[in-house]
Amino acid sequence: MIVYHGSLEKIETPEIRVPNRALDYSEGFYTTTSYKQAEDWVRRKLDKDCPTGYVNTYELDDSSIEKYKYLIFDKPSEEWVDFVMKNRTQQDFCHDYDIVYGPVANDKVYAAFALYEGGIIDKQNLISELKAYKLYEESYSNLITEIRLKQHEFNNHINAMDINSEYGDGANPVILKSEFILSLCEHLMGGQSLGAKEKSIIDRCTAKVYRVYQQGNYS
């Protein structure tokens, strides 16, 4: 099996580094079977200080997995949600699996988890939402529809424009927020794709809005 790992450096020998933030499956060396997913991760990381990135490729002997203690999630499920939430929210939680295989939600899908944490949607609705997504390059349509239908029922509110230094899984927070706003605008326009001019305006406005916030170390 061929797997990929996006990085700003060439990694010939995979190693486990202690993360500075909570991850879906705790600390580990994350790989994906999707080259595009790894490539897109690299593109989000690139900036003027780090203009070069790499998609590291490895060959995994999947027949050797049986030798290790492993956990496999074929699709979003209650067990998967519970496992991810424990890793992301419980500081004292530490699993003892050597290998964990399953879907990894990108930053857009984390919005659905935020709704779940805030009590706006229950676990079954969360799972339904995630199954509707590809968990990668998914649209916001179902999620936004759910919010619109239920927003009058709750006193909880999520600030979609909120941002902090850990936003974006280590990528440039402002770039990811710009991508979020772009996706939101395209959805509000009925799924129409914005042109280069409109994208440029969103990028420049987003950078200007968050510039002072960034300069103040997100405080």
- Rounded average pLDDT over 94-116: 76
175 or 56, higher pLDDT: 56
What does the alpha-carbon distance between residue 121 and residue 127 come to, in Å, rounded to a whole number? 10
Angle (nearest 5°) at CA 3 between 48 and 66: 145
Stated as kind and residue range, the H or E segment containing 101 is strand 99-101
pLDDT for position 57? 96
pLDDT for position 64? 82
Q: What rounded mean pLDDT belongs to the chain?
A: 77
What does the alpha-carbon distance between residue 8 and residue 32 come to, in Å, rounded to a whole number? 16
Give the list of residues 6+ apart from residue 46 with CB closer than 8 angstroms, or none: 8, 52, 53
What does the alpha-carbon distance between residue 219 and residue 214 come to, in Å, rounded to a whole number? 8
- Kindly report, residue by residue over 32-61, the tens digit of the pLDDT: 888 888 898 888 788 888 889 999 999 988
Q: Where are the domains of the chain?
A: 1-104, 105-158, 161-219
Q: How many CA atoms does the CB half-sphere of 212 hold within 13 Å?
A: 1
Q: How many CA atoms does the CB half-sphere of 35 hold within 13 Å?
A: 4
- Rounded average pLDDT over 111-138: 69
Token code pair at residue 75: 């699709």
- Rounded average pLDDT over 143-171: 61
User: Is residue 110 over pLDDT 80?
Assistant: no
What does the alpha-carbon distance between residue 135 and residue 130 come to, in Å, rounded to a whole number? 7
Contact 54, 9 (CB under 8 A): yes
Mean pLDDT check: name the lowest of 22-26, 112-116, 180-184, 209-213.
Answer: 112-116
pLDDT for position 43? 86
User: Is residue 171 over pLDDT 70?
Assistant: no
% of the chain residues with pLDDT over 70: 75
- Kindly report, residue by residue over 187-204, the tens digit of the pLDDT: 677 667 777 788 888 888
Three-state SS string across 3-54, please?
A: EEEEECCCCCCCCCCCCCCCCCCCCCCCCECCHHHHHHHHHHHCCCCCCCCE
φ, ψ of residue 29 in degrees (nearest 5): -100, 110
User: Is residue 4 over pLDDT 60?
Assistant: yes
* Residue 131: C-alpha distances to residues 77, 103, 127, 176, 181 (Å): 9, 11, 6, 23, 23
- Kindly report, residue by residue over 67-103, the tens digit of the pLDDT: 889 998 887 788 988 998 888 888 888 899 999 988 7
What does the alpha-carbon distance between residue 186 and residue 144 come to, in Å, rounded to a whole number? 12
Token code pair at residue 200: 């440029």
The answer to whether the pTM exceeds 0.75 is no
